Amino acid sequence: MTEAMAPAKEEGFQPSILAFCCNWCSYAGADLAGVSRLQYPVNVKVLRVMCSGRVDPYFVMRALELGADGVLITGCEIGDCHYISGNVKAKERFERLSKLLDQIGIGSERIRLEWISASDGIKFAELMEEFTEHITNLGPSPLKGSATGGV
C-alpha cells in the first residue's frame, strides 16, 4: 500500500464518491440544490453528520479503502459553525490527513474539504459536478478492491 500506484484510466469509469455533510449548512445547501432542481452527477452519496467536526479521519480512510474513489468533507463557512469551531477542527484534521494520504501514495487530491452555506445550493451542485469530473480524471482509487478489513 505504500508504493505509489499510478491509476489507470478506465473506459466509462464511474467514480464512487462519498460526501460528508453537516446538518446545519452543507446538508441544507444540498437540499437547496434539490429544491432548485440543479442537476449534478449521480456518483455522489451524502452521509449526514451533525458537524464537520464529527468526521473522523478514519472514516475517510475507511471509505477510500473500501472503494471510494473520492471523499468530500463539507461544513459551514468558518465563523458560521453551529458548534462554534467544529469546522476549524475539521480543517486541522483534514490538513493532517492530506499529508498522510500523500505519504502513503493514495494522494491528497482524492479528498477535498469545502465550506457550503445553507443558501448555496449552486455551490453544492457545482462542487459535485466539478469534483466528480476531477475524480473521473484521476481514475479509480489505487486501493480499490484491496480492502483487508483494517488500515
Partner 1 sequence: MSDEEGKIGAVMVVGGGIAGMQAALDLADTGYLVYVIDSSPSIGGAMAQLDKTFPTHDCAMCILSPKLVATGRHHNVKLMMASEIDAIEGEPGNFTVSVKRKARYVDEEKCTGCGLCTLRCPVEVRDEYNQGLKLRKAIYLKYPQAVPPVLTIDRDNCIGCGVCETQCVAGAINFSREEELVKVDIGSVILAPGFSGFDPGLKSEYGYGVFKNVLSSVELERMLSATGPYRGMVLRPSDGRMPKRMAFIQCVGSRDVQVGNPYCSSVCCMFAIKEAIIAKEHTPGLETHIFFMDMRAFGKEFDEYYIRAEEEHRVVFTRNTRVSSVSENPETNNLHLWYSEHGKMRREEYDIVVLSVGFDSPKDVEKLAEKLGIELNEHGFCQTDMFTPLDTSKPGIYVCGAFSSPKDIPDSVAQASGAACRAMSDIAGARGALVTAKEYPPEIDVSGQEPKVGVFVCHCGINIGGVLDVPSLAEYAKTLPNVVHAEDNLYTCSQDTQQRISEVVREKGLNRVVVASCTPRTHTTIFQNTLKEAGLNPYLFEMTNIRDQCSWVHMNDPERATEKGRTLIRMAVAKAALLEQLRPAEVEIVKSALVIGGGLSGMTAALELSKAGFDAHLVEKDSELGGLLRRIHYGLSGEDLQGFLKRLVKQVEDDDRIHVYTNAELKEVSGSVGNFTVVIDSEGEETETHQGVIIVATGGEEYEPTEYLYGKDPRVMTQLEFEEKLAKEGEIDAKCIVMVHCVGSRTAERPYCSRVCCTESVKNALRVKEMDPGIAIYSLFRDMRTYGFREEFYREAAEKGVVFVRFLEENEPVVRVDDQGRLEVIVLDDILQEELLINPDYLVLAAATLPARGNEELSRMLKVPLNSQGFFLEAHMKLRPLDFATDGIFLCGLAHLPKFFEENVSQACGAVSRALSILSQDTLEGEAIIAVVDESKCRGCGVCVDTCEFGAPSLKQLEDGRQVSHIDEALCKGCGSCSVNCCNKAISMGYFGTGQILSMIESCFPETETPPAEKEVAEVKEVTET
The H or E element containing residue 48 is strand 44-49
**With binding defined as CB under 8 A, does residue 108 bind partner 1?**
no
Cβ neighbours of 84 (radius 10 Å): 11
Instruction: Verify binding: residue 13, partner 1, rule CB under 8 A.
Output: no
The residue from 72, 73, 74, 76 that contacts partner 1 (CB under 8 A) is 76
C-alpha grid cell, residue 12: 466509462
Q: Which of residues 14-53 bind partner 1 (CB under 8 A)?
A: 16, 18, 23-25, 27-28, 30-42, 45-51, 53
Find the part of the chain contacting partner 1 (CB under 8 A) among 2-10, 55-63, 105-113, 130-138.
55-63
Report the C-alpha gap between 82 and 86 in whole angstroms. Answer: 8
111 torsion bin: left (phi>0), alpha (psi -120 to 50), beta (else):
beta
Give 96-150 as a DSSP string: HHHHHHHHTTS-GGGEEEEE--TT-HHHHHHHHHHHHHHHHHH-S-TTTT---S-
CB under 8 A: which stretch of 3-11, 62-70, 106-114, 130-138 binds partner 1?
Answer: 62-70
Shortest Å distance, C-beta 99 to partner 1: 8
Q: Which residues bind partner 1 (CB under 8 A)?
A: 16, 18, 23-25, 27-28, 30-42, 45-51, 53-59, 61-63, 66-68, 76-77, 79-80, 82-86, 89, 93, 96-97, 100, 117-123, 125, 145, 147, 149-151
